[in-house]
Amino acid sequence: MIEAIEIRTVRLPLRAPFQTSNGVSTERELVLVRIAGGGAEGWGECVAEREPTYSSEHSRGAVDVMRSFLLPRLLAAQVRTAEEVAPALRGVVGHPMAKAALELAVLDLVLRRRGVPLAQYFGATRTRIPAGVSVGIQPSVAALLDVVGGFVDEGYRRIKLKIQPGWDVEPVRAVRKKFGDDLPLQVDANAAYDLADAPLLRRLDEFGLLLIEQPLHHDDLYQHARLAEMLTTPLCLDESVVSARSAAAAISMGAASIINVKPGRVGGYLEAKRIHDLAQAHGVAVWCGGMLESGLGRRANIALAALPGFTLPGDTSASDRFYATDLTAPVTLEADGHVLVPSEPGIGATPDPDLLRKFTVDTWSYER
């Protein structure tokens, strides 16, 4: 089925620097995979960053692991469906973001050939979903209030604030004071705290947050369970959940009452759907995370987030949140803070060839 493969590294300039507890970015490096076969093409997007600061994966490493270890297995297995991709790649340990990109490219190819939209394949029925937006660490509280005010005016349905030690209680207090108790608000620490910070984190309880996301280190499942007992704010895990197995462990230990589902972090959209199903069966809410995807990955996330268990707004903001120019037709925000679930076959968009050429910094290709 696979006749040709192209792996491209692209760099998209960000409209404004994006700061988290892991550092500041001014551009987004992404790896795109194009697989052609049977007169159709499919696209996948690898969300590994240029530097391994969020997880151990990074874009140059992802390209290498695809070329050296994943593609040879994919080709040898002669996969014909997306369901066959993860089993074909199981022999390689780790590298979930690289694996997810290949699985998505195969899935997109198969669905385009069948004329089936991704959301329909997942079993999603919603045609639009409420969008949340993630707000980076700002140089001052005044700057933060301006930025949040802009997103509230645009209609975003919930705000997520990035926090880190020294930028937590005061910015949250200021946003609550200015925008009121009805604004759906949550915070994300990207693993910046220790269990010893529990008294500080407990001070966030008074602000009625939807959740605190990943306060502790990614392998601190036990400590998250202890912390959860000390807080009234629900604990949500991101970095710690790398598979349906770790999601099950987190739920049964009481380490998370909410899960951020990111397909790249868990090795693909099929595993992400399994986490949705598992969480739903246990009454645990999930929401769809974001990793500054282009219009390809973003559309795929929106299709996933249209499943019924995604009961909280996700990081599914529109293209213009991060990019002046997206690679595809932009994902847009409707007047009431919703984004539309793509209804075209597969992911529902392809990159514009001229923009793709303009933003590509490296290409590798293979033909059978």
Q: Which residues are catalytic?
A: 162, 262
Q: What does each C-alpha distance from 347 to 107, 124, 129, 302, 321 come to in angstroms?
A: 9, 14, 16, 10, 20
C-beta closer to ligand NPG: residue 103 or 315: 315
Nearer to ligand NPG, 275 or 292 (CB): 292
User: How near is the Cβ of 20 to ligand NPG at its closest, in Å?
Assistant: 6
Span of 102-110, 203-211, 273-281, 289-297 interacting with ligand NPG by CB under 6 A: 289-297
Helix-helix angle 269-281:244-253, to 10 degrees: 20
Does 21 interact with ligand NPG (rule: CB under 6 A)?
no
Q: Toward ligand NPG, which CB reaches closer, 289 or 346? A: 289
162 or 276: CB nearest ligand NPG: 162
Interaction with ligand NPG in 136-195: which residues (CB under 6 A)? 188, 190
How far is Cα 233 from Cα 300, in angstroms, rounded to an integer?
A: 30
Stretch that binds ligand NPG, among 8-16, 266-274, 285-293, 327-335 (CB under 6 A): 285-293
Min dist. Cβ of residue 214 to ligand NPG (A): 8
In angstroms, what is the minimal distance from the CB of 174 to ligand NPG?
A: 20
CB of 164 to ligand NPG, least distance (A): 12
Measure the CA–CA gap between 255 and 130, rounded to whole angstroms: 27
Question: How near is the Cβ of 188 to ligand NPG at its closest, in Å?
Answer: 6
**Which of 159/201 has CB closer to ligand NPG?**
159
Report 224-253 residues binding ligand NPG (CB under 6 A). Answer: 238
**Cα–Cα distance, 91 to 114 (Å, whole number):** 30
Minimum Å gap between C-beta 187 and ligand NPG is 11
Q: How far is the CB of 340 from ligand NPG (least distance, A)?
A: 17
Identified binder of ligand NPG from the candidate list 289, 295, 309, 351, rule CB under 6 A: 289
Q: What's the Rg (C-alpha) of the chain?
A: 20
| Selected range binding ligand NPG among 107-115, 226-234, 283-291, 351-359, rule: CB under 6 A | 283-291
- Whose CB is nearest to ligand NPG? 290
Min dist CB 21 to ligand NPG, Å, is: 9
54 is a contact residue toward ligand NPG (CB under 6 A): yes
Size of residue set near ligand NPG by CB under 6 A:
13
Interface residue with ligand NPG, options 41, 45, 49, 103 (CB under 6 A): 49
Which residue, 190 or 240, has its beta carbon nearer to ligand NPG?
A: 190
Which of 9, 134, 246, 328 binds ligand NPG (CB under 6 A)? It is 134
Give the x-and-dash track for 290-329 against ligand NPG (CB under 6 A).
xxx----------------------x-x------------
Nearer to ligand NPG, 278 or 292 (CB): 292
**Would you say 108 or 238 has its CB closer to ligand NPG?**
238
Q: What is the 3-state secondary structure (H, E, C) of the chain?
A: CCCEEEEEEEEEEEEEEEEECCEEEEEEEEEEEEEEECCEEEEEEECCECCCCCCCCEHHHHHHHHHHHHHHHHHHCCCCCHHHHHHHHCCCCCCHHHHHHHHHHHHHHHHHHHCCEHHHHHCCCCCEEEEEEEECCCCCHHHHHHHHHHHHHHCCCEEEEECECCECHHHHHHHHHHHCCCCCEEEECCCCCCHHHHHHHHHHHHHCCCCEECCCCCCCHHHHHHHHHHCCCCEEECCCCCCHHHHHHHHHHCCCCEEEECCCCCCCHHHHHHHHHHHHHCCCEEEECCCCCCHHHHHHHHHHHCCCCECCCECCCCHHHCCCCCCCCCCCCCCCCEEECCCCCECCCCCCHHHHHHHEEEEEEEEC
Contacts with ligand NPG by CB under 6 A lie at 20, 49, 54, 134, 188, 190, 238, 289-292, 315, 317
